[in-house]
Structure 1
Amino acid sequence: MSVAVQLVIALGSVAALVVLMALARRLPFGAEVKRKLVHVGTGIYAMGLPWLFPDRWPVYMILALTLVMMVILRMPQISGRLGEAVHSVERRSYGDFLLAISVGLCFFLADGVALFYVLPIAVLTLADAAAALAGSAYGTRRFKVEQGVKSVEGTVVFFVMTLLVALICLMFLSDLPPLNILTLALLVAGFGALVEAQSWRGFDNLFLPLGLLVLLEVHSNSHLSDLAVIAVLFVLAIIAARAIGPRFGLSTHAARVYVVAIFLILASVDLQNAILPALVLAAYPWANARTPAGDDFGDLDMVAGLALFSFGWLALGNAVGWNAVQFYGLTAMGLVMGLGTLALRRRLVWVPVIAAALLALRQIVTALNPPHSLWAEPLLVLACLCLALSAAVSAALPDMFFRHRVLKLTILSMILPLAYYALAVMDQGATPPPAGGSL
């Protein structure tokens, strides 16, 4: 297929999305139904992208144009009523943007493996829509999620629909034994249902497909006994979070979201590389208890921030081919340092102790990592600078972190690792070491 033909199809795809939204707006349904019709239509189209284009660039162009169009549709003076089919639901949500971003990341990270791309997008497209519509129409047993509510009935429908989608995809897109297929499908359905039930502001459009992709990539070839152990540990973690979470100042909702985050971290990286990110989750409630922030749902924002920079480093490492796990750890370490400094706002004498402990922990983690991930070492000076920057800014300007604490600390913690990573990659040249991309 020529470049010109692919370009025409890509531009036609974006035009078709506009037509779909225009048609959905005219249908005699409620706002939620209209939104889900657009969601299903775009999701079904997205599932066929690997087979529609022989090259990758048209897919990324479609997603970029879609994101631009979504920004325009959020401007009432420009869009008029066209954006009603997407943005008329009365709740704060970034779901439309996150859907496009997730499709792009899944397409990239799947690296041509159909199962890793199709199954997550199919679950996001079909199960999510079925759960939302069933919950709206038949939901009677409600539970609180941030500023909104969800229903037990919708969650059950999501679990059943995800189980069916997973079974079909695993049977046709893999050669796994039947018991492995059943166990993995149950694990996918259980994890997916928990993510969907605890999501907020449309973050399920990000956490759900990327979480399922990571789960499949890491465990699709695991032994049956390993899958069973993972399933048992997942259930026990949910029970433990419900019992222990309130003791650390977490709401029931936040405690369950923390389980999802820790599960994703453990599925994405080796155990030693999960320590620093897990400390971020522990440091936030500590800092918030000692120096309260003005954010209504900061603990949930912390999970969102951790997920975003985790998937960001994963995508960047895969894109350029140079393993990013050490820089991922530096970002997490900077976040812990910033949160710890805010927690010790009136006892800053203890800040050097936290810094020393983090440096010692990083040295242990580094010693346990495989050689291919240590291509940029030694990074001890950079680690000290990251800690110093986070501590200095947090100590000097604590009031700056009263609002949007997670966002500001995440940006602060990313500055030095991201800049040094870019310089180090340019200095190393074009040929990365084996297994250089993933966390």
Structure 2
Amino acid sequence: MNASLQIGFAIGSVAVLLGLMALIRHGASTYGLSAEVQRKLIHIATGLYALSWPWLFPDRWPAYMLVGITLIVLIVLRVSRIAKAGVGATLHSVDRRSYGDILLAVAVGLCLFLARDDLIFYVLPIAVLTLSDAAAALVGGAYGKRVFHVEDGVKSVEGCVTFFVVTLVIALICLLMMSTLPATRIITIALIVAGFGALVEAASWRGFDNLFLPIGILIVLADTMHSDLLRLFGLIVIFGLTLLAFRVLFARLGVGLHVSRVNVTMIFLLLAATSYQHAVTPILALAIHIWSRQTNPSEDRFPDLDMVAGLTLASIGWLVIGEAVGWNAILFYGMTSMAFAAGLASLALATAPVATRVAGLAVTVFALLAIRLWTVAISTDTSGWAGPMWGATVATLLLAILPTSLWPGAFRKDRILKLTFLSLLLPFVSYVYATELFGLLA
């Protein structure tokens, strides 16, 4: 297929999407379709179409162009007048805040990029996102009786069970058709994928599952596809024990079950995506956040969920950057998580006496640098990285500590958003400098 035809498919796809939205909007007024049904019809249609992309676009760049155009269209559809009265109403008539439409497009593009030529890493996550998510929402909405709270909404046990069953079937089919693994490993991996996916679905909020679910499944697949049965069973045991431990611990700290599930999901992904030593500082940042929210709470409505969302998005961002550039980004990700931890520790100490604050921050910085030294020392795969970069590391910690120490009041609102910016700024600049220095972006 030549380039012109692929571009034509990409542009035509957006036109078809708008036409489909208009058709569903018309059908909604004719047959009385609920806002949730309208959203899920669009979700299913776009997801099924996205499954054809690896074959429809032999060259990947037209697919990425399609994702970019779609994102622009979706942002335009969020304009108030269009979102409530035009075709955008098919996506934005539900009575809750959600970024699911935008995150769905981002997830498709990222999965296509990260999967490369290994199609199971694209097909399985997008199939689960398309079918399991829609089935859970529709079954839960129609038959859900046993409900639990998520952020300011509710989910149902019936919906989660539906998600698990549908995901299990999808995973079994994909693994049987697209891998050469033995049956026992296929069944075990399918159970892990279904269990992890159901937890993400149960813990999702504001449509973040449209991003976290497929990327998370891709990461879990990449971690388990080449593991033996003993390690797979070990992962299941560790996952279950961690979920139980966090439920008990967070209950004692006055943190809800939803936040407990979200944190377990985050930690499981960290351990699946990277070596354990590189997961220490982000896990430490999550722990320090619990401390800071008690000694110096923010005015944000859902600070715990914001923390997980900020750290997860930063993690995914560094994963994608590292894959795109081909230059190891793990130590720059470590800088980011160290800055999160330092900034949160600074805010946690903001109400303490000056001497206590100085001593506490000194201990925090020393501990973070010691963890950094240990991480660098035991890391065996040092190909494609620029070394520990102590100057940039110390500067990143100072950038996180100084504003939060001098102006803690400025972090009462949008705390995690501001910390995310501070934590990413110097690591990103350092990464660009390092890659240019070694000629990788030339």
Q: What's the TM-score once normalised by structure 1's chain length?
A: 0.96
Using the alignment, how far apart are the partners of 1:378 and 1:179 within structure 2? 42
Task: Note if 1:35 corresponds to 2:44.
Answer: no
Cα displacement (A) at 1:2: 1.4
Give, as a single letter, the amino acid of the residue that structure 2 aligns with 1:5.
L
Asked if the contact 1:127–1:157 (Cα under 8 Å) also holds between the matched residues in 2, the reply is yes
What amino acid is the match of 2:429?
A
Q: Is the 8 A contact 1:159 1:193 kept in 2?
A: yes
1:30-429 counterparts in 2 under 5 A?
30-78=34-82, 80-345=85-350, 346=352, 347-349=356-358, 350-373=360-383, 375-429=385-439
Deviation at 1:376, TM superposition (A): 1.0
Q: Which amino acid aligns with 1:143?
A: F
TM superposition shift of 1:68: 0.6
Cα deviation, 1:154-174, whole Å, max 9, x if unaligned, reads 011111000000000000010
Matches of 1:226 and 1:102, distance apart in 2: 28
Give the AA of the match of 2:69.
L
- One-letter amino acid of the counterpart of residue 139, structure 2: A
For the Cα contact (< 8 Å) 1:120–1:209, is it kept in 2? Answer: yes
Q: Choose 20-29 or 164-173, whichever is displaced more.
A: 20-29
User: Any idea what the Cα deviations from partners look like across 1:312-352, whole Å, max 9, x if unmatched?
Assistant: 00000000000000000000001100000111112322212
Contact map agreement 1:249 1:285 (CA 8 A) in 2: no
Q: In the alignment, which residue of structure 1 is the partner of 2:2?
A: 2
CA contact (8 A) 2:82 2:88 kept: no
Structure 2: runs of 5 or more not aligned: none
Distance 1:37 1:50 in 2: 22
Q: How big is the shift at 1:372?
A: 2.4
Question: 2: distance between equivalents of 1:117 and 1:243?
Answer: 36
1:140-191 Cα offsets, whole Å, 9 max, x none, are 1110001000001001111100000000000001011001111110111111
Query: Could you tell me how far 1:42 is from its partner in structure 2?
Result: 0.1
Assess if the C-alpha contact under 8 Å between 1:146 and 1:200 holds in 2.
Answer: yes
Mean Cα displacement is larger for which, 143-152 or 373-382? 373-382
- Aligned residues between the structures: 432
**Structure 1: runs of 5+ lacking an equivalent:** 433-439
Q: Tell me how far 1:242 sits from its aligned partner.
A: 1.3
Contact kept, 8 Å, 1:326 with 1:373, in 2: the verdict is no
TM-superposition CA deviations, 1:13-32 (whole Å, max 9, x none): 11111111111112221111
